[in-house]
Structure 1
Amino acid sequence: MASLDQVSIAILLGAVLVMAGILSSLLALRFGAPLLLVFLFIGMLAGDSGPGQVRFDDVRSTYLVGSVALALILFDGGLRTRFQSIRAVLAPSMVLATIGVLLTALITAPIAKYVLDLNWTEALLVGAVVASTDAAAVFLLVHAQGLRLRPRVGATLEAESGTNDPFAVFLTLMLVELISIGESSALHVVLEFTRELVLGTIVGVVGGRLVVLALNRVALPQGLHAPFVATAALVVFGVAQIAHASGFLAVYLAGIIVGNRPTRAHNSVVTFLDAATWLAQIVMFVLLGLLVSPQRLVSSIVPAVIVAFALMLLARPIAVFLCLAPFRFNWREKLFIAWTGLRGAVAIFLASIPMLVGLSKAYLYFDVAFVVVIISLLLQGWTLAPAARRLHVALPRSDRGPRRVELDLPGQLEQQLVGYSVRSKSLYFRRGLIPSWSKPTLVIRDQRILSPAEADPVAPGDYIYLLAPPQKAEALDRFFVDMQPSLEPDPHLLGDFMVSGEHTLGELAEIYGVAVGDEQAKLTLADYFDIHLDHAPKEGATLELDSIVLVARSIGGGRVNVVGLRLPEEEEEPAALTRMASLKRKLSDIWASVAGI
Structure 2
Amino acid sequence: VILGLLGGMMIVLIVSRLDTDRGLTPIFVLALALLVFSFTGAVGGSGFLAVYVAGIYAGNRKMQAIGTIKRFQDGMTWLAQIIMFLVLGLLATPSQFPVIIVPAILLALFLIFVARPLAVWLSLLPFDYTQQEIGFVAWVGLRGAVSILLAIMPILGKLENGQIYFNTAFIIVLVSLLVQGWTIKPVAKKLGLIIPPRIGAVDKVEVDLPGAANHELLSYRVIKDSPVLRGERIPRWATPSLVIRDGKSMRYQYAGRLRENDLVYLFIVPSYSRLLDRLFASRAPVDEDDAEFFGAFALSPARPAADLDAAYGPGLLNESEKGLTIAELMRQRLGGKADYADRVRLGSIILIVRDLDEHDHVTSVGMSLEAVEPAITLPIFINLKDIIQRVRDRLKGRRNRETTTSESAQKAPTGREEARHENGR
TM-score band by shorter chain is: 0.5 to 0.7
2:241 aligned partner, one-letter code:
T
Matches within 5 A, 1:85-484: 201-395=1-195, 401-430=201-230, 432=232, 434=234, 438-469=238-269, 473=273, 476-484=276-284
Q: Which amino acid aligns with 1:540?
A: V
Q: Secondary structure at the match of 1:405?
A: strand
Deviation at 1:445? 2.4
**CA 1:554–1:276 in 2, change beyond 3 Å: closer, same or farther?**
same
Give 1:552's aligned residue: 364
Query: Partners in 2 of 1:403 and 1:246 — Cα distance?
Result: 41
Partner amino acid for 1:264? Q
Give the alignment of 1:35-74 within 5 angstroms: none
Distance 2:291 2:341 in 1: 17
Report if aligned partners of 1:416, 1:469 keep a CA contact under 8 Å in 2: yes
For residue 62 of structure 2, what is the amino acid of its counterpart? P
The 1-side partners of 2:26 and 2:226 are apart by 33
Aligned partners of 2:339, 2:131: CA distance in 1, in Å?
28
Partner of 1:115: none
**Alpha carbons 1:475, 1:535 under 8 Å: kept:** no
Amino acid in structure 2 at the alignment position of 1:295: S
The answer to whether the 8 Å contact 1:264/1:413 transfers is no
Q: How far does residue 403 in structure 1 lie from its aligned partner after superposition?
A: 3.1
Equivalent in the alignment of 1:540:
353
Q: How far 1:283 moved relative to its partner?
A: 1.9
Q: Which amino acid aligns with 2:132?
A: R
- TM, length-normalised to structure 2: 0.66
Spell out, residue by residue over 1:411-461, the C-alpha distance to the aligned partner (whole angstroms, 9 max, x if none): 334323110111231133335255676432222223333333222432222
> 1:392 and 1:367 mapped to 2: Cα distance?
37
Deviation of residue 224 (structure 1)?
1.0
| Greater gyration radius | 2
Q: CA deviation at 1:285?
A: 1.7
Q: Which amino acid aligns with 2:90?
A: L
Gaps of 5+ in 1: 1-200, 500-533, 556-597
- Cα separation, partners in 2 of 1:454 and 1:448, compared to 1, 3 Å: same
Q: 1:537 to 1:287 in 2, by over 3 A?
A: closer
Contact 2:218 2:267 in 1 (8 A): yes
The answer on whether the counterparts of 2:355 and 2:365 sit within 8 Å (CA) in structure 1 is no
Name the aligned partner's letter for residue 245 of structure 1: G
Deviations along 1:481-510, whole A, 9 cap, x unmatched?
2113668989xx9997669xxxxxxxxxxx
Identity of aligned residues (%): 39
Amino acid at match of 1:480: F
* Cα separation, 1, equivalents of 2:183 and 2:296: 40
| Cα separation, partners in 2 of 1:210 and 1:235, compared to 1, 3 Å | same
Q: 1:484 to 1:354 in 2, by over 3 A?
A: closer
Question: Conserved in 2, the CA contact under 8 Å of 1:209 and 1:258?
Answer: yes
Tell me by how many angstroms 1:279 deviates: 1.6
Deviation (angstroms), 1:259: 1.9
State the distance in 2 between where 1:367 and 1:328 align.
38
Query: Which structure has greater helix proportion?
Result: 1
Partner of 1:110: none
CA distance in 1, matches of 2:340, 2:240: 20
Is contact 1:388-1:395 (8 Å) kept? no
Q: Secondary structure at the match of 1:329?
A: coil
For normalisation by structure 1, the TM-score amounts to 0.48
State the distance in 2 between where 1:319 and 1:273 align. Answer: 31
Render the CA deviation track for 1:260-285: whole Å, top value 9, x for unaligned. 11211112211112222212222222
1: CA distance, partners of 2:266 / 2:161: 60
User: Could you tell me whether the CA contact under 8 Å between 2:219 and 2:265 is conserved in 1?
Assistant: yes
Whether the aligned pair in 2 keeps the contact of 1:262 and 1:470 (CA below 8 Å) is no
Q: Deviations over 1:136-176 (max 9, x none)?
A: xxxxxxxxxxxxxxxxxxxxxxxxxxxxxxxxxxxxxxxxx
Counterpart amino acid of residue 365 in structure 2? R
Change (3 A) 1:472 1:383: farther
Gap change, CA 1:377 and 1:477, over 3 Å in 2: farther
